[in-house]
Amino acid sequence: MDRISFLPDDFLLQILSLLPTKDVLTTSVLSRRWRYLWKLVHKLEYTYCDRNAGHGRFVSFVDRYLLLSTAPVLESLQFNIRRKCSDIEIGFWIRTAVKRGLRELSFDYWPHNTINEPSKLPQSLFTCGTLVVLKLTDVSLVDVTFPVCFQLLKTLQLSCVIYLGDETPQKLLSSCKILQELDVNRVKNDNVTVFSIKVPSLQKLIFDGKWGTHDGISEFVMNAPSLKFLEINDCSNECMVEKMPELVAANPEAIYWNTDNILSSFTSVKRLSLCLAEESPFPTGEIFHQLVDLEFCTCETEWDLLMYFLKHSPKLRALKLNEIIGMSQSSIPESLMFSLETLEWTTYRGWQVEKELATFLLKYSRRLKTATISPQPTSLENKHRMLTELALLSRGSTTCQLVFG
């Protein structure tokens, strides 16, 4: 007998749990020692993408495996389906898994070359008291009966989900009493006009709503006082965000007419990456006392907003610029003179407005240690000119090292 077969069952099952489920079953022919181990594997992964694979064969395989499994608890069940399966087939698989104390479900359903209709999952999934992680892609929640119960759920991912209306995501999230991580990727015409996230326990939120509208209208509402990390990519008409005193890092790429509302909720943030719409309003009177690291995308934003953050971020130590347009004269922010240590500028094109900003930053950043600038020249001659101009700029810090990326 080979050496690996002498290992305890727990070790062998850990090895098997790392394999696709179709490969796990083949190990039963290795020896008598392996014959029934596959039944105890507690992490199952099913992939159905091959157009040449027989539908009946795949369905029979999943049915048989789930029914014959004797694992005390089903830790994880993953579906990656790109061929058409019926709601009856899918419902049977999930109901069977729920009865086995399912702790994690990842359901990714996107059949190719068919009229794509979101899958409808069984009601028993939404009262599964053992689920800790739930990830759903291309699913319809229109027929779900509320209230639902996810008393142990900590991670929820909703991608390309269709809802009955505004109340569906609200009711779903209100049932997740200890939810910590939420990832939402909206789809066009998902039947939600006002997407509301009110979860007191939430610590991490990734929200992509750039395609999510209902009849061209969309609004984003958030109340998550325990949030520590936020990433937003959204084009809603309006946002309403409550204060987030625990927020550490934020990455908003958004187009709202009332941008000042969301910016005023970032006052506790330490790391901030901004990409906002043109003429974004300032969060009047707010001071970013904890902000240390700022990344600023100015592809559509005026220079005034950048200056606002420099003036109102007394502890700022690192600044990264991606693009810059529009500049006006302004007083010198204290953060430049007394705290900024690192400057990084990507896509520097040598435009007049960029030269003025580079001159301003290098001249008044008295504690700057490193300035990394990556030119984007149109020719070798143009690159040489840009590098020469930058190298000759006056520096307020005698220890500043200028690096060209």
- CATH code at 16? 1.20.1280.50
Longest dimension (CA), the chain: 81
Does 100 map to a domain?
no
Burial 147-174 (b: 16+ CB within 10 A, else e): ebebeebbbbbbbbbbbbebebbbbbbb
Structure tokens at 399: 């220890």
So what's the pLDDT on residue 277? 63
- Cα 95 from chain centroid? 29
Structure tokens at 321: 């610029």
Q: Cβ distance 255 to 234 under 8 Å?
A: yes
So what's the pLDDT on residue 1? 54
Does 283 map to a domain?
yes
How far is the C-alpha of 79 from the C-alpha of 81, rounded, in Å?
Answer: 6
So what's the pLDDT on residue 192? 92
Per DSSP, which regions of 110-154 are E strands?
Answer: 119-120, 133-137, 139-140
Q: Residue 47: what are its φ and ψ, rounded to 5°?
A: -120, 130
Total number of domains constituting the chain? 2
Per DSSP, which regions of 243-317 are E strands?
Answer: 249-254, 271-276, 293-297
So what's the pLDDT on residue 347? 85
Does 96 map to a domain?
no
Does 233 map to a domain?
no
Does 368 map to a domain?
yes
In terms of residue numbers, what domain contains 360? Answer: 270-404
**pLDDT block averages, 10 residues each, the chain of length 405:** 68 77 72 74 86 82 89 92 91 95 94 76 95 96 95 97 95 97 93 94 93 71 95 81 92 75 87 76 78 80 75 92 60 78 90 87 92 87 89 92 91
So what's the pLDDT on residue 330? 58
Helix axes 87-99 and 55-68, enclosed angle (nearest 10): 20
Does 243 map to a domain?
no
How far is the C-alpha of 312 from the C-alpha of 331, rounded, in Å?
Answer: 12
Does 232 map to a domain?
no
pTM: 0.84
Strand order across the 194-198 sheet: 194-198, 219-223, 238-241
Q: Residue 186: what are its φ and ψ, rounded to 5°?
A: -80, 160
Cis ω for the linkage preceding 225 (within 30 of 0): no
How far is the C-alpha of 256 from the C-alpha of 297, rounded, in Å?
Answer: 16
Does 325 map to a domain?
yes
Taking phi over 0 as left and psi of -120 to 50 as alpha, with beta for the rest, 389 belongs to alpha
**Which DSSP helix (H) or strand (E) runs through 47?**
strand 43-48
